Amino acid sequence: MKKFTIILLLVSFLMIIPVTVSAQQSGGELIIAVPASQEPGTMDGHIDPYQNTWLFNSFSADPLLILSPSGEYLPCLAESWEMAEDGFSWIFHLRNDVFFQDGTPFNAEALQKNFERVKAPETASVQMADELGPIAGYETPDEYTFIVKYDSPWPALLDGLRRLPIWSPTAFEKYGLADFEKHLIGTGPFIYKGAVAGDHISYERWEDYGGWNPIHDHEGPAYLEKVTIRYIGEQLVLGNMVDSGEAHIAQDIPATSCEDYENNEDATLLTGYQAGTGLQWVFNTLKAPLNQVEVRQALLYATDQDDINESVFDGRYLTQKGPLNKVHPCYWDGVEEMYPYDLDKANELLETAGWVYDGGAFRVAKGVEGVEDGTVLTFVFSALGEERARIGEILQLQWAPIGVDLKVEVIAGPIQIEKVQNKDFDLMYERQRTPDPRVLDMVWNSKNDYPGGWAWSGLKIPELDEALNKIAENSVLEERCAYAKAAQEIIMQNVGMLPTVSAPNFYAVSNSVHNFQLGSEGNWWFLNNTWIEE
């Protein structure tokens, strides 16, 4: 057996306690405002496919391991782990002093029931089942040893386990799939008290918390008595929540609000970055006219990412030209030169593809296979949230000179999944966040093009699938990155997506809050040691 490690080249941020404060204070209610678009479809992270759901779950459910603010995997409910030399199995050595909030002991049997629940077809896990990989079976040699066996090597398991909430099997068996999300019971520092749709989530301190998370730096339970997550629908309102005193922390404030918290005596601006796909829109290559590679190429040549960044985000985001963002350890810089902004080239490609001007502002089809002559060159840009939709509004202006009529729609997460499963989209927002290069396999391997899968483009390229399979099977980061870079080139040659920008996470934090810790991914944070100065 061998230890399996990943070196993460990411930036982490930690809020510093002012030296004038002498001691932590227990108690108080921490109010955190987040965009309304982050409201989960279900609070059960075994089912819901979004990072914010797993983050909220982490307050009440410790995982097997965490990704620390410095980018290291650290033991949590698992004391240690090993991957077999051939990559076909993992062994986890579990803590023997952990119990769930309902008194159920945490052990190998409880962990296996969590794995089985995620993988069960009736659970309909959209992403977490994929994160756990092609499991062949389990073994529990003793009460605190858990072995996962695989049909093929699965070196990326740890990246999924750091986000997997471990729930009490007593609780999820008692309440069933339909009702368990109202009774989430884990081993974390806070007890889930419920959610009000469209308004908030509530947590209360668990007095018996054992400090099992390595981020927990003190004896006893968390300092905070209560935590409330509030959903805010308007971006400008969200940006003002801390300044107005309505919240202690506001996550993902708009770039236009950042200036309000720079040199602010009462609050601090924190910025976090996260490796992943960035803000990309996947092309539906099965739907005319996006089945024409020339059309997809033209749209990329007509896209000015610098203009999007300046116009929408005050230049505070990172521009992006390919399937991975610049902070990803496997980013390939060759994407920067593939599709420079060139309206002449874009117009030439559309003419070649059979899209011509016929007296109107927009191009129409002429002799395009599968498209009736005279059909206007129109696409729908599907975005989650108002701020993402503003990217589409800039693209409307950028693409008008090449004769493209772009419509922009704002949709919720569940509608996004429904449209994708029905292949009822043109350009669909898809964002995945992880420093593991397997993110490319998840989004671009044609084997993942199934209901609930994340390969949405419809591309089926054997050369690409082969490179992506190598990423999923290989355990050496340098080799995995080499395959990832080859995959990025193939994806961009075949124009599977529209890259725009990569979003930092901007936080406004009241100076009354101490020890609010950002993870190495900018949209993840820890509240174990957080306290409020009254």
- As a three-state string, the secondary structure of 310-336 is HHHHCCCCEECCCCCCCCCCCCCHHHH
Tens-digit pLDDT profile for residues 46-73: 999 889 999 999 999 999 999 999 888 9
Residue carrying the six token digits 């908030």? 200
Kindly list the distances between the CA atom of residue 461 and the CA atoms of 63, 457, 491, 494, in Å, as whole numbers in the listed order: 36, 11, 9, 9
Using a 10 angstrom Cβ sphere, with 0-12 exposed, 13-18 middle and 19 or more buried, the burial of residue 433 is: buried
Quick one: pLDDT at residue 155? 86
Strand pairing partners for 270? Answer: 507
Residue type, 283: F
Q: How confident is the model at residue 16, as a pLDDT?
A: 40
For the segment 127-176, what is each residue's pLDDT rounded down to a tens digit?
Answer: 899 899 999 999 999 999 999 999 988 888 999 999 999 999 999 999 99
Residue ranges, CATH 3.10.105.10, the chain:
279-502
Query: Residue 485: is it exposed, middle or buried by C-beta count within 10 angstroms (0-12/13-18/19+)?
Result: buried
Supply the pLDDT for residue 7.
35
User: DSSP H helical segments within 23-107, as ranges?
Assistant: 51-58
Both tokens of 473, joined, read 């099977």
CATH superfamily to which 26-273+506-532 belongs: Periplasmic binding protein-like II (3.40.190.10)
CB-CB contact of 494 with 461 (8 Å)? yes
pLDDT at residue 211 in the model: 97
pLDDT of 14: 40
The low-confidence residues of the chain, meaning pLDDT below 70, are 1-23
| Neighbour count for residue 234 (Cβ, 10 Å) | 12
pLDDT value of position 521? 87
Q: Counting Cβ atoms within 10 Å, is residue 141 exposed (0-12), middle (13-18) or buried (19+)?
A: exposed
Q: Is 5 helix (H, G, I), strand (E, B) or coil?
A: coil
Q: Measure the CA–CA gap between 529 and 513, rounded to whole angstroms.
A: 11
Domain(s) of CATH 3.40.190.10: residues in the chain? 26-273+506-532
pLDDT at position 392 is 98
For residue 507, what pLDDT is reported? Answer: 98
What residues does 508 pair with on adjacent strands? 250, 269
Specify the pLDDT at position 22.
Answer: 43
Pick the CATH number of 279-502 from 3.40.640.10, 3.40.50.20, 3.10.105.10, 3.30.2310.20: 3.10.105.10
pLDDT at position 2:
38
